[in-house]
Amino acid sequence: MSTDSEFNKLEKSIQLETLGDYIFKAINFSYLVCILITSSAQGKIPNEGWDYGVGKSTLAINFLKNLVYNGDFEEAKKHVIGFPEELGQFLKPPTRTPGILWDDMQLSVSKTYAHDKDVSQLADFLTTQRTRLAVFIGTAPYRDILQKAFRERFFHFEIIVPYRGAFEIQQLQRSINFYRPEQTMTRLLYKSEGLFNELLPEEQEWYSDWRDERDKKAKPKIKLLQQGIVPEDVTDKQMILLQELVGKGSIAQRTLYGRQNGDGLTAIELRDMGLITKHNTSGSQMWIPTEKGIDFVNKE
């Protein structure tokens, strides 16, 4: 039976030479490591400057599958998210999630939300979740596109994809500015570089379907696109709840949040589409369909 001293000796014996070492130590010795995968800002390797299509998501899924879930794609894909509201399911005690991937973070936490305290609060909260989460992987075109709390103080590593199939790993090393001790300076420390493969055909098929569903949820959140919402933009789950709301006229917020099927989150998605809204009735918060929502169901 291992003693605490033996456990400590084992931890100290791990040399942090590679990113894989950091991931292993985070998972097995209760640390949290946060990794961002980018492409357009050049690092050590000359790049082609592409924001999109270089393979950031491909590399991220490969890392999640191979370095966190030991090659188990079925397990890895359960831990890929597209929106912040999906984080909560992986932060519930008493379990500790080995790792998650938040793909295209700029959709939800870009500089558009520069003055959004909720976004800053989320970043700060995630830094406290070492006992719930070991590895956080995110993707974005470049780090500076993200809201300040995420781009400046959240990540420990930035992996840059200069062109398809290649990557370099840079560690975000922080140090005190001794001329202004209240400031912390950050610099990139080159660690290594390598090559990566495309996803397997069945993995790529899953990711393409997942991305389509993600985009279907994202589109209604963009106000300038809301007028163009068509039935294909609404998931089956969203339509079922919307039809129920139109049929009943209203449903209490607490009723939906109490359901185990995620209807509370679905209601928020429908609200973002402009299809339902919240109304206070005798001190109770009720979800009710908007005229747009009613017309949407009737046309369907």
The secondary structure of 104-145 as a DSSP string is -THHHHBGGGTT-HHHHHHHHHHTT-TTTEEEEEEE-S-GGG
**What's the token pair of residue 78?**
């359960």
Predicted confidence band at 1 (pLDDT cuts at 50, 70, 90)? very low
Is 0.95 surpassed by the pTM of this model?
A: no
Tell me the pLDDT tens digit for each residue of 137-193: 999 999 999 999 999 889 999 999 999 999 999 998 877 778 888 777 788 888 999
The structural domains of the chain, with segments of one domain joined by +, span 4-206, 225-299
Q: What is d(CA 53, CA 194) in angstroms, rounded to the nearest whole number?
A: 18
Q: Which strands sit side by side in the sheet containing 276-281, from one edge to the other? A: 251-252, 284-289, 276-281
Tell me what pLDDT residue 11 has: 67
Q: What is d(CA 285, CA 300) in angstroms, rounded to the nearest whole number?
A: 27
Between residues 243 and 226, which one has the greater pLDDT?
243
Topology of domain 225-299, CATH: Arc Repressor Mutant, subunit A (1.10.10)
Between residues 16 and 93, which one has the greater pLDDT?
93
CATH H-level superfamily of 4-206? P-loop containing nucleotide triphosphate hydrolases (3.40.50.300)
pLDDT exceeds cutoff 70 at 246: yes
Q: Which residues contact 258 (CB under 8 A, 6 or more apart)?
A: 264
Q: Tell me the percentage of the chain whose pLDDT exceeds 90.
A: 56
Tell me what pLDDT residue 291 has: 87
CA–chain centroid gap for 62, Å, is 16
For 252, 280, 287, the CA distances from 284, given in Å and listed in that order, are 7, 6, 10
Phi, psi at residue 158, to the nearest 5°?
Answer: -120, 125
Q: Tell me the percentage of the chain whose pLDDT exceeds 70.
A: 93
